[in-house]
A = this chain, B = another copy of it.
Amino acid sequence: MKVALLCIGDELLKGATVNTNLAFIGERLLRNGIIPELSLEIPDRRESILKALDYAYSKADTVITSGGLGPTSDDITKDTIAEYFGLPLEQNAALEKHLTSWWKKLHSGPAPLHWERQARIPAGAEIVPNRFGSAPGIHLERNGKSIFLLPGPPAELHPMFEDEMLKKILEKREETLHASLTIIVGIGESIVEERTQPLLRDGISVAYCASPGLVKLFFTCRDEALLNETTAEAKKIFAGDTLSDGITSLPAEVLRLLERKKLTLATAESCTGGMISAQLTAIPGSSAAFLGGAATYSNDLKRLFLGVRETTLAQFGAVSRECAAEMVEGICARTGADAGISVTGIAGPAGGTPDKPVGRVYIGVRLHEAPRILECNFRGGREQVRMQTASRALNELRKLLLEQEP
């Protein structure tokens, strides 16, 4: 099976919307051993869609589209795809009923013009329910070509793809492939690759996918037992540096460990200015372990909220091992949190000195006892330095929490 993606919408080409659907679908396919042949972004124009379909099917047998399924006049994906396959659009009564009740649930007054267009489906196509929006997904098989239509909004596309579409796509494969995902934190992609080499043998496919702070390691295999064995060996090789099963981010892993141990956390951030607390609170239910934090950007606030001493700031400066230590001790003492994180550094582009260049960051982590302080020298621009700081700080706390495992 060869897959191509077709992302339809003017907003993608005008820079109004970053195409996160491509990354989402790509990652989910990779987990199952599939790498798309190509992805296309095209405007909501009939001739663009028709030409793109021709091109996509010249490279693939399975096409996944996103966007253009809604009720407005520029939503022409369904009409154009029906035309491409020479199929009429048929009004689906059950779908129409569902759409009416969906509208009534959210709005008062009559449904807008063309609302019922969303109930028109190419003859012979299969409907895929949309739990979080009005326009349904569609699956169509014709002349050896498969097509899967998804709505554009990520909040609708993600669950629809994960719950229903992906299964249908994978069913089309001649062979059953089993897949595993291991997420490794704090180790670079090339080192992960190197250490994984000894595990590779006939029948095992491997793929790596690196993003800031973590590397996703995917194995696929026809033989489930061999897959499980290989995955278990990988988990052994990277013991202590992997996320728990089902957890896909560092903040989520830290929160999970804290909750399991019934511990609380507070943060004290200078150069990241609240990024770490924002990442933690992005996770539903984070309030169970996360108390809050102080973004102490000025020296005054470091004194006021964290009790950093005037003399420490004067003698060592705000970007120092000593200040990071007092920050993490201060936030724990003042909030009563069991665990703490502090960061203070020079994110740039200005503010660097020969002694303390841009990218120099001190990270403090603490769990009950004396804080552990790290000196880091990150590369890149302001946002890169800040992102690396946040990842490293969360990973240091994760390691500290693991060390104290029974």
Footprint of B on A, CB under 8 Å?
A: 10-20, 22-30, 35-43, 48, 51-52, 55, 58-59, 155, 207, 209-211, 216, 266-267, 269, 271-278, 280-282, 284-287, 290-298, 300-301, 304-305, 334-336, 348-350, 380-384, 386
Contacts and interface: CB of A to CB of B under 8 A. Distances in A.
A75 to B, nearest CB: 15
Contact of A284 (B59, B267, B349): B349
B13 A19 contact: no
The 9 closest A-B pairs by CB, nearest first: A273-B281, A15-B27, A274-B274, A15-B26, A274-B277, A292-B297, A292-B301, A277-B295, A16-B209
Contacts of A300: 291, 335-336
A105 B202 CA distance: 44
A284 B284 CA distance: 31
A212 B382 CA distance: 23
Contacts of A275: 274, 278
A209 B11 contact: yes
A301 B48 contact: no
Given A274-B275, A294-B295, A26 B13 contact: yes
A134 to B, nearest CB: 14
Nearest to A154: B381
A334 B303 CA distance: 12
A284 B19 contact: no
B38 A209 contact: no
Contacts of A211: 16-17
A25 B15 contact: yes
B37 A48 contact: yes
B286 A297 contact: yes
A284 B296 CA distance: 16
Contacts of A42: 37-38
A156 B36 CA distance: 27
A405 B80 CA distance: 53
A280 B273 contact: yes
A367 to B, nearest CB: 19
Contact of A15 (B23, B48, B296): B23
A23 B28 contact: no
A15 B273 contact: no
Nearest to A386: B282
Contacts of A25: 15
A10 B38 contact: no
Nearest to A382: B284
Contacts of A36: 13
A294 B40 CA distance: 44
A19 B16 contact: no
A45 to B, nearest CB: 9
Given A23-B15, A30-B15, A281 B291 contact: no
A175 B348 CA distance: 41
B297 A287 contact: yes
Central interface residue in A25, A28, A48, A297, by most chain B CB within 10 Å: A297
Contacts of A278: 272-275, 278, 295
A269 B275 CA distance: 12
Contact of A292 (B17, B207, B276, B298): B298
A297 B301 contact: no
A294 B297 contact: no
Given A275-B274, A296-B292, A28 B14 contact: no
A18, A52, A381, A386: residue with the most chain B Cβ atoms closer than 10 Å: A18
A294 B335 CA distance: 12
Nearest to A291: B298
A362 B18 CA distance: 29
Contact of A384 (B23, B155, B295): B155
A368 to B, nearest CB: 19
B291 A274 contact: no
